[in-house]
Amino acid sequence: MAKKKNTALIILGYVFLAFVIIAAGLFTALYLALSSMHEKTTWIRKTEPEVIENVKAPNIYQYHPRSNFLILGSDEAGNGSRTDTIMVVSVDERNANAALISIPRDTKVEINGKIERINAVYPKNGIAATIKVVEEFVQIPIHYFAKMDHKGFEKVIDTLGGIVIDVEMPMVYDDYAQNLHIRLMPGKQRLSGEKALHYVRFRGDGYGDVSITNSGYVGRVVRQQKFVEAIVTEISRPANLGKIPALIPQLKEAIRTNLTPAEMVKWATLAQNAKGFQIKNFVLPGTSSTINKASYWEVDKEHVEAIINEYCRVGKYGFSVGILNGSGNPEAAKEMAVKLREKGFKVAGISEVTEYQYLESSIQAGENYEDAVKWLAVSLNINKNNWTKVDSQIGDVTILLGRNALK
């Protein structure tokens, strides 16, 4: 009996060893495949924080961390093709939300004194120049990039079993030069890889890359957003977990990125659970223009800043400010809110102190908000020593207005 037990244990041991060897082999293959997608870059971000009286503005993600991705897509593999899909995705893991901003490919940029369309920057100047241009538009740092070959994604989508998209109109389009022939009927349907890319590439609706109507932005960039959402939805289905080994070599052909293998696994896991995320879609605000008979998308910088401050960072400086009005004058709080917004701060709210009035204005915030307190004090000319180290009642930092705010 003991011999049988020992034999069973030996067999179990061999089975376990085989499992370990297979798992190690799969892990090694996965790591090597992911490593081959990794692309080293030479771009160095050179941004200096604002300074007032030797006080530096805090890092915009010091208190509310986010990760920002630049997604580039082209219809052909290689570095010579223009990037027809350009998106910035800003992710807040902690609060499970993300903002997706589509940048029209005809967006006007200036490179070395020459006007260009943004989709020409990558093939002419490379990834570092592309990131720099995009960062200048959105005024947030790009931490990661991923360049996708649309044709390579056909196989990925087919392996997933297609993606579900609600086609909004009949789509019939022929481009004999590119051997492109699109035939899609309206309605919610599961599209193959080829048909999904036809949906993304369709431009026969008269709206081109992007246009503005009474119902908002329309055109190719909006379909690109629906395409990305459909892929995320499909990947996050538990039934597709078993397809990961088949997807690895296809993703290897379709993607180049500066994400390390460990980071790829992390973000892939997050994508698998993305159903709980709140995702807001935007088009880089602007208007159409014509320069020397060429069409461009002119960016509305003020509108862009409003979107970025609300959805990609907490105001211009990365923290919110609440107002407690202890001055005895309701107008003082309104005036302070206007002043804060003009300077780029996010106003978290206003509350009145009705019990009594305060002589001097002060700041309330926890000790970990020291950089924010110093910056707020110097920006508003408040004595930084008037800092009460308690948790803020409204927002990250609270200004308690005293009667001296009426001067």
Predicted pLDDT of residue 314: 92
Q: Can you tell me the mean pLDDT for 63-75?
A: 87
CB 62 within 8 A of CB 318: yes
For the chain, helix (H) and strand (E) counts, in that order, are 10, 23
Q: What percent of the chain has pLDDT over 90?
A: 27
CB 404 within 8 A of CB 359: yes
Integer CA distances (angstroms), 223 to 165, 294, 300, 372, 401, in order: 10, 23, 22, 40, 48
Q: Can you tell me the mean pLDDT for 158-183?
A: 87
Predicted pLDDT of residue 37: 55
pLDDT, one tens digit per residue, over 201-258 is: 887 776 666 666 655 666 778 888 888 788 877 877 777 777 777 777 777 777 788 8
| 147 class by beta-carbon count within 10 Å (0-12 exposed, 13-18 middle, 19+ buried) | buried
